[in-house]
Structure formats: structure tokens, C-alpha cells
Structure 1
Amino acid sequence: MDDIAIDVRGLHKTFGTAPALRDVSLRVRRGEMVALLGASGSGKSTLLRHLNGLHQADAGTESGIQVLGRSVQQGGRIARDIRATRSRVAVVFQQFNLVERLPVVVNVLAGALHRLPLWRGLLRRFPAAEMARAHEAMTRVGIARLAWQRASTLSGGQQQRAAISRALVQGAEIILADEPIASLDPEASRKVMQSLADVNRDLGVTVLVSLHQVDFAFAFCPRTIALHEGRVVFDGPTRALTPARLRELYGAQIDELLPTRATTEPSTAPESAFADVALRVA
């Protein structure tokens, strides 16, 4: 079990009378990069929010979530030491969650606040070691030259890479990326996904990224977990998601999963891996 980063068992979640998650069980190993695929309303964001205790599972169920060997919640009860677990798990949201009036570097350094005295954050007096860590993180994702610009001046893709930098400064062992490219153009999307893939490959950070674009799953994620109407309907190698299987799983919603351009492959991906799928699905 030491190699299991995320362990979810029997997760149920209902909002009012509408079921959002139905008996979801899955495991993600340390160092994996996994796509959480699904059309809108499939339960992807709801699942991610359960993994760090932002949502509670339905009470009275036997559901359980463990992250990095620590309990996050059991039977709908959040663990008392959830803050210690959250310090090891970063969330990259669709809407960036940066303070737009502050410089990029200050936003990135927010990742260090959990290990610093409160006064340092309030006065923005960060130790030299943390400044160096922030510079290294921004360099890794290609935005170091923007460090002292206001966050509001950055493009959407640059802001999302700043959010990834913040996760690195945090020292996260897991990144939960919730639709990080949903509002970006194809080129910005590719850069954000490549940054996540580089962090996964070079630093061994476990990445679970929710997507509704199957082409990016093919290009960057060896494994895909697909959700439909709150259930896990596929869990396996991304290459096994054949056009016939996609139609079977999503029916009329398949159009939402299709690429607008087949230009997302990183240089290390097989050149024809998704292009073939895109042509045959279309």
C-alpha cells in the first residue's frame, strides 16, 4: 500500500435528491499521471473536491478516502488532521485562483505559507530560500521573466502555469488539476498540460487531471478513468478508449469530448496516437 497515492472506496455523494457520485472506487499509484475524463456533469469536479476534504461524502455510507496513506474522510466524516494532508496535496482550479493585483511571484509564494510564520505572509517578507524555490518553480514552467508583473496582466495559460508553480512551492506530492485547460486555446492548453507532464516525469509528483477533451488524455496521460453520470465506466490504458468504446460510454455526449484540432501531442507522444482516433471517431 505504500505505493498508493489515492485510494477511494464506495464513494457516494448526493446534492439534494440528485446523485452526483455513485459508488465510486479507484486507486492511483504514486508517480502516475491520470486523466479523469468525462462530459459536463459527470462528477469529475465533485470527485476531486472529495479527495482533499472540500466536500463530504454522504453520511451513513461505508465510503472511505485515503491520500498518501492518511485518511481524508470515512463514512462522510472529514478527518481531524485534514490540514496536514492538504499541505501535501495541491489543487489547480479552472479559474486560476490568483490574487490579480499582486505580483506573480507573491502568488507563487503563497504555496509556502503553510510552513511560515503568519507575519511573513502578511508583510510579504519571505526567506531567501523560499524566494529561490519560487524562482526555480517559475523557471520550470517558463514564466520566470514574468515574476514581478501583476497577475492580472498574464494570459490565462500563464496564470495557470503560475498556479502550477505555486503547487511546486507548496511541496505538493499530489496535484489535483480540475479542468485546468477548459477556458484556454489549444496552444496554451498544450503548454499547461506539458508543464504538468514535466512535473510528473521530472519530480515524481502524482497528477490527477480532469478533462473533457479526449485528445489531451491521449497525448499526455497513459491511464484514463472515465466518469459518466457519477459512475466510473472505464479505468485503464488511455489507448484502449477506442472510438466504439467512447460511443458506447457517452452516446450523444461524445461530441463534447472530441478535439477541435489534433495538435496536442507532446514531442514524446506517438505522432499518430490520437490523430487516428480523432479521424475514426469523427
Structure 2
Amino acid sequence: MIRFRFTLTPLGRVAPWGHEDRSLHWFGLTDGWYWIELADHELLRYSPDPLRRTDPTPQRPYVDYFLARLWEDLIEMTPAVLEPVPADLLDFVAGDPGVWRSVDSDAASTAAVWWDGHTLDLGYLRQPPRIRAWRTVSDDLDVVTVTWRHDDDGDIRFTAPPSGRVVISCELFLAAVRRFDHELMTAMERRIRALERSGPPNGVHLDLKQLRAEHAERMTWLARGLRRVPRTDWTAVRAGAMELRQGLTVRE
């Protein structure tokens, strides 16, 4: 089981952007908390003690950021995840780049970029876990493997184990992406309608026509993203993977 969960910040508590010229927009209105339910785990749920050190009065124990960022990055990542990984590259896609050789070549760069395309971008967070996913297809199998790893330095901790791996059907993964998109678009539709009735908060610039137009355009993002087919140069990826892993005698 996998589900991308979230709660939006109540509309009256969404902080405008800027100081003198305060404004709001679609991205800013997605302020909230989010996490990922994966099997029996909650990824991106902070442990209580380190959380209190960084935020003495946390409202929720989850990532506190703009939902738009997770949504955009998931749409960007999904086409790469849905492209089946050839059997001879499974060790590479599941491996640790920390053990790669330092190689300066076009093939190595291509392989590294392909590997990174299976990683959910959480670089905007402090000490984030590395969450990755890839698809495996065979005669009687069509699954997505989701892995995570967090190097705990004692400052930021999560409730999930430091590392783990869960295998789910590709159908379930895609359904979870679609559900997240639907739930976020529905929540933002309600938010926009409320603002259209009440008008922008006092002293805050918010172009309601632009907000409505942007929402309509963003509602097409997932469908367009799913139509995007990666043009992977498998020859280059294989050559680069061999260069990066040359000399390794054990599986990472």
C-alpha cells in the first residue's frame, strides 16, 4: 500500500509572501504538511525529540512545506519510474552512488542522471531521506520498488527505520499518484472558491483571475506528464554504469 497524504494549512493562517508588498499565489496557497504512507511506515514523519529542538511548538509531526513542490516533483519523477528497468541494470539502480568511482565521461554522466531520475527531489528539506522508486517487469511481474534511506546525525530523525524497501504493484503506485493529484486539485478548488467569495485578505495582493487560470492549467499537468515517454539511451546508461561501478566486487 502507498498513499501520498497531506493537510493544507487553514486558509486564514496561510502566510503571504513578502514584507511590504505582500502577495499570495497558487504555489503559496498549497502551504501545509505532507507525508507518505508506505506499507506499515510513514515516511517523512519526524521523531518527536529532534522535532521539538527545531520547532518548540510543532503543529504536526510531518514535513511542513508547500504541497505544490511535492506534487510537481512527483509528476516529474513518475515517467522515469514507470519505465521498466532492464534486468542487467537492477543492481545499478538499486545501488549506492557513494561507492561509485569518480569518472568524467559522457556515458558516466548519462548513467548518473538516469539513476537520479528515480529519486524524489527533497533537497529543499533539511537532512532529508533519499526516497527512490523503479519499475520491474517480467512475464508474471509488474512491480515498483520503493526504497528509502536516511543518514541520522542525531539532529533530524524520522519515525521510519533508517532504511527500507517495499515492493508494490505498478498499478497501485500509479493509482496513488493519481489519487494525490485528484485530492490536491480538489482541495485547491475549494480554497480558490472560498477566496472568490471572500476576496483576498486585507493588504494582500492576489490576482483571482490569474489564480483561477493557473489552477485550470495545473489540472492538466499530470495527464501531460504521464504522456511523456523517457528517451533513455540504454547503451550509454549501461556503459556509464559499468564505468561508475568498475572494480566493485560486491553488491552495494
Write 1 or 2 for the structure with the bigger share of strand.
1
